[in-house]
Structure 1
């Protein structure tokens, strides 16, 4: 069984039972320090690597390697560190923070925040790398990717009185593979699924999330498996 202390931390923020599940401070520090360090290291090896490749008469693209050989080492190391810092920023921005109380659940990723009324949550579970909050009609109130530990999330939600489903999605057997013009979908859902298919293939994560929410308003719950979409209807869909 996962322990809350393994990779995620839980802390009582207000003394009123509100808990925050987030990555530990040392994990965040590793991201901010490790990113620039790795980038600087990569920049440091560019010059000797380029010099070596430039000596190989059979190696293709000799021009770029000879050019890299002429760049001052401090420029390569500094540029690598800067790129590593940018990467660290995006990694930190993608870290999910989950705030749980009996009254509400708040999912925060960077500047994006989803708040769910606790009274509407009927069950919580992990679906692979996603945390899912279900409503009484079987619809998804929230669904966010996360690498927070199951034990930390379970502890926070059960302490606040929510039903944590260890076995996962209670509707797992209801999903059907979506193909274009599938019968049985509400009006407009097929067009949204077509648009979402394009967004999935293009790696447009923001559009994927927005289209998922639009489908939810039509009573359609969607899940992904290797960029294939599976769907089911809620009780009101």
Structure 2
């Protein structure tokens, strides 16, 4: 879900010169969804505890007995309230992590995690979708940005195209990727060690920040990496690497 704010409206296929198009997921919808999910989970918790106690052997039997010792309706009301509170906290986190895009004739701004990245028209070669991520490539085919995106893809493509920015349905360099395994030949010095570290950081949903930092280090070596089914695929950019 997203809301569009445009001066004029984002629906205009040809925005007036100097006008910006903004796309962002509405904070209220994200928070409301998380609170509703938390309330449902909280309401179902007493039922789950009773089902666990009905088994011949159950994990967390002690906490389940303690939980079900609270009389109804206080038990269900209490767990529902706790679930709503947890959903509220999760919703605020999700809002902070959500991506917003501001498109101008001269530059594009990507904002996520309270941090804005600004890219001028000259820096931008193409935008495309890779699964649930928005990717931006520069003229040297290196990634300038790769961010999880919950925006409507067609509206995002229309907004970018309306301001004259190239949009591709998929990575134009997709065929150049090959699966990485330790010792893959043809990689720049140091890339294999970084990929090993990134694989470890990404294992079992591990340290996302570490994996992100290692992706940046690989880009400085001219290596573009993408993930698919918990596997790393790499593409080496030849020639002079900017940044």
Tell me the TM-score normalised to structure 1 length: 0.84
Tell me the equivalent position of 1:3: none
**Structure-2 residue corresponding to 1:201:** 203
Runs of 4 or more off by more than 6 Å in structure 1? none
- Note if 1:98 corresponds to 2:101: yes
- The 5-angstrom pairing of residues 1-237 of structure 1 reads 7-12=1-6, 16-23=18-25, 25=26, 28-47=27-46, 50=49, 54=53, 56=54, 58=56, 60=58, 62-71=61-70, 72-73=74-75, 74-166=77-169, 168-203=170-205, 204-236=207-239
Taking the aligned partners of 2:55 and 2:193, their CA distance within structure 1 comes to 55
Kept in 2, the 8 Å contact 1:8–1:152? The answer is: no
Superposition RMSD on alpha carbons, in Å?
2.4
Structure 2: gaps spanning 5 or more residues: 9-15
Q: Which consecutive unaligned segments of at least 5 residues does structure 1 have?
A: 1-6
* Equivalences, count: 226
Distance 1:30 1:124, change over 3 A: closer
Q: 1:43 deviation in Å?
A: 2.8
CA contact (8 A) 1:10 1:21 kept: yes
Contact 2:182 2:192 in 1 (8 A): yes
1:99–1:47: structure 2 CA closer, same or farther, 3 Å change rule? same
